[in-house]
Amino acid sequence: MQTELEPTRPTRDLVVEIFAKAMRAATLWLEYHRERINGLNVFPVPDGDTGDNMLLTMRGAIRAVDRVSPHSLADACDALAEGALQGSRGNSGVILSQMLHGFSQELRSATRLTPGVLAAAFNRAAEQGYKAHSEPVEGTMMTVARDLAREAALRAEEGLSMPQFLRAVLREAKESVARTQTLLPRLQQAGVVDAGGEGIAVLIEGVVRYLSGESMDEPIASEQTSTGADFGALDLPEDDVFGYCTNFMLKGENMDVDAFREKVLSLGRSALVVGNPQMIKVHVHTEQPGDILSHALTVGKTLHQLKLDNMDDQYQAMVGEKAKTQPATSVTTALVAVTAGDGLRRVFQNDAQAHVVAGGQSMNPSTGDLLRAIEESPSESVILLPNNPNVIMSAQKAAEASKKQVRVLPTKSTPVGIVAALAYSPDAHLDDNFGAMTQAIEGVAGIEVTRAIRDADIDGVSAKKGDYIGLVNDKLVSADPDLSALLVATLEKAGVDEKELLTLYPGEGSTPEQVDAATEAVQKRWPDLQIDSQFGGQPHYLLIASLE
């Protein structure tokens, strides 16, 4: 019976490969469950995107591992920890990054991977999770990490195989998640378990499924469905939802992390301040974010990934949000979006609750198709996203033919349409939605990468048949036989030096190797650029992207 993975000289590369694949499996399983985890969130109330934040953290960790192509477990662990910190978002993401840091630090010097070694790594992860938060609370992801670490220590000496050992740890993680309701009254009031704790259990389940050879296919909807948190049932003190949820990364040299943490703690609540002398990640709730940001610039040189959320507004929005089980007629403004590709369709349907019309390049929907979607929408007010220049005219004709109030936001590409859709709210009025969505896409560059089907010379760009070509906002800007070089050149034309976030959507014709190589080239050229990736599955375009 196998109880360990021993990286002797001939198998060391194999162990690193297994470790990396296990982390990818955990990330994939989390991606499948992220919306369900988002719906569970209660604490802290403003961080209603726990699943998203944990997923972004894991993606950052995986990208870092892929970038360094590690030849040793130490290399892989160091990259995982560094990437997790840089990619972390929100309370849950920052805590997860610290857990991964502790886990990696314990694991990096291991000569063998055994249940005992993993038990020590789980324990270090739990310790780091508790240290990360200024006000650790029981009944959260920190509790789940501690409970599973205790179970791991008990099981480590039983001679179990690695999958058996991890299944035992997973059982305890799930039981600990269930117990969170008894530890936090607000979870019981809202009828949910802790979202971050559930995320921890899902990550471990992904690893168990991979090591056990179980299917990693996306679960069917019925297996993931759960009731979201009932915010209306919560009895919260007023000061629980007051101020701004402030997130940023501070870069500099020889920064004193502990001193900066003390200052942040004096200016806010629920603070997470972690990092090193060159880079500090901050998540804090404060009434005066300007004071913290001003002080940060006296400590470090530059601010990155700055995000401010008004917690009062968020809480009121969540309290007033209609339950997903209510009839669709409760929608104030409906959203219709045109797109092609399974991944892109899921983004519009799941993240923006849009009615999706199949279509795009070379498969433009008719005016009748769009009109039918408008009429089937559950509101007398509708916003329509054509997401392609060839669909805009049909969209406008459909809007004119409908008796409903219809506004067409003339998006010319799907990634820009996604940015607009994420600013949409089904409970907001038509004009408010249209204004918010219009503002959201100001300055956003839509990028498309495909292959030239013939030799061409357009707008000063010469392309040979078969070359990769890059378009920015529907204009040809670059051509190159190498995909990585092409993406770098296209981003330069799109003004990447003034942007912070690149979101990539690989299409059905791309390969993971192509996407990884192109992403690595971009990250090497612009190390401070945040890069997120989500499968799009669109035809014709190997990559599409938004640059914000």
Query: Who contacts 421 (Cβ-Cβ below 8 Å, separation ≥6)?
Result: 335, 337, 347, 348, 351, 352, 354, 385, 437
* Residue 44, preceding peptide bond in cis (omega within 30° of 0): yes
Hey, which of 361-365, 499-503, 530-534 has the most confident mean pLDDT?
499-503
Under DSSP, is residue 161 helix (H, G, I), strand (E, B) or coil?
Answer: coil
State the average pLDDT over residues 335-358.
Answer: 86
Residue 325 has pLDDT above 80, yes or no: no
CATH of the domain at 97: 1.25.40.340
Residues 285 and 366 in one domain: no
Residue 246 lies in a domain: yes
Residue 450 lies in a domain: yes
Residue 79 lies in a domain: yes
Determine contact, residues 229/192, Cβ cutoff 8 Å. yes
Q: What is the pLDDT of residues 211-224, one digit of tens each?
A: 888 888 777 544 45
**Whole-angstrom Cα distance, residue 132 to residue 84?**
14
DSSP string computed for 245-308: EEEEEEE-SS--HHHHHHHHHHH-EEEEEEEETTEEEEEEEES-HHHHHHHHHHHSSEEEEEEE
Residue 319 lies in a domain: no
Residues 302 and 337 in one domain: no
Query: Who contacts 472 (Cβ-Cβ below 8 Å, separation ≥6)?
Result: 445, 446, 447, 490, 493, 494
Lowest mean pLDDT among 5-9, 94-98, 332-336: 5-9
**Whole-angstrom Cα distance, residue 521 to residue 511?**
16
Residue 323 lies in a domain: no
Of 405 and 364, the structure prediction assigns the larger pLDDT to 405
So what's the pLDDT on residue 362?
57
Q: What is the pLDDT of residues 253-273, one digit of tens each?
A: 999 998 999 899 889 887 888
Q: What is the pLDDT of residues 458-507, one digit of tens each?
A: 888 888 988 999 999 989 999 999 999 999 999 999 999 989 899 999 88
So what's the pLDDT on residue 2?
42
Residues 252 and 305 in one domain: yes
Residues 435 and 450 in one domain: no
Residue 324 lies in a domain: no
Whole-number mean pLDDT of the chain? 84
pTM check: above 0.85: no
Residue 292 lies in a domain: yes
Q: Which two tokens stand for residue 539?
A: 């035809």
So what's the pLDDT on residue 338?
94
Of 252 and 43, the structure prediction assigns the larger pLDDT to 252
CATH of the domain at 308: 3.30.70
Domain count, the chain: 4
Of 62 and 308, the structure prediction assigns the larger pLDDT to 62
Single out the residue of 520, 528, 470, 519 nearest to residue 496, CA to CA: 528
Residues 68 and 16 in one domain: yes
Q: What is the pLDDT of residues 127-174, one digit of tens each?
A: 998 887 766 778 889 999 999 999 999 999 898 888 899 999 999 999
Residues 76 and 172 in one domain: yes
Cα 23 to Cα 62, 337, 535: the distances in Å are 7, 34, 18
Determine contact, residues 247/89, Cβ cutoff 8 Å. yes
Residues 300 and 394 in one domain: no
Residues 140 and 53 in one domain: yes
Residues 211 and 140 in one domain: yes
Residue 64 has pLDDT above 60, yes or no: yes
Among 440, 470, 496, where does a domain finish? 440
Residues 87 and 195 in one domain: yes
Residue 1 has pLDDT above 60, yes or no: no
Percent of the chain with pLDDT over 70: 86
Residues 353 and 274 in one domain: no
Q: Residue 507 sits in which domain range?
A: 445-547
CATH of the domain at 474: 3.30.1180
Residue 257 lies in a domain: yes
Among 312, 343, 374, where does a domain finish? 312
CATH of the domain at 357: 3.40.50.510
Residues 100 and 175 in one domain: yes
Among 419, 440, 461, where does a domain finish? 440
Residue 328 has pLDDT above 60, yes or no: no
